[in-house]
Amino acid sequence: MDQFDIKLLGSLQRDGRLTNNELAEQIGLSASQCSRRRTALEESGVIEGYHAVLANQAVGLGVLVFVQVSLAAQSPDSAQAFAKLIRGMDEVQEAFALTGEADYLVKMIVPDLKTLSRVLNEVLLPHRSVGHVRTSVVLDRVKQTTQLPLDHLAAQEKAPAARRQAAALRKRAAAKS
């Protein structure tokens, strides 16, 4: 990944609807070069997709909540049952398996506290895999972004040529095996 790829990724994170011409102008390449680079980044999985970001309040989702869940039993069956439950809940935006006191951290968004109470009391708490639930309702969102920091990539790009060549050789060797 070179400086042009890094600039391309940064620009697309800020506005995924940029045309190749607009992107080319921002990063200093031709539109065809931008198109090839974008396609390569998509095919390699660096760019996973494009989507619209909706305003939760505008679509009637006013309560953001984080739920810490401890499983009833520490077993693969319990973990699989919980994961299946979570994948089927539209209210869940993200869920993470954790180390520490709780087994999972679940980010949910619901229209109101009444809906939150229903989801907790009728869906989460009665489920056989759930042992304990601790809920935190968000009072104010201090920061929200989907953009990943890319500064470390720029620093890698400035690394000495010998290190880049060694990394490329390791990558080729790994691809052959």
- pLDDT single digits (tens) 1-21: 899 999 999 999 999 999 999
CA angle 172, 39, 30 (to 5 degrees): 105
**How many other C-beta atoms are found inside a 10 Å radius of the C-beta of residue 8?**
25
- Report pTM: 0.78
Q: Nearest Cα to 54, choosing from 93, 9, 104, 99?
A: 93
User: What residue type is 52 in one-letter code?
Assistant: A
- Average pLDDT (111-120) is 98
Cα 19 from Cα 119, distance rounded (Å): 42
What residue ranges define each of the domains in the chain, with the CATH number in brackets?
A: 1-53 (1.10.10.10), 57-137 (3.30.70.920)
- Average pLDDT (78-93) is 97
- pLDDT single digits (tens) 87-96: 999 999 999 9
Q: Does residue 158 register a pLDDT over 70?
A: no
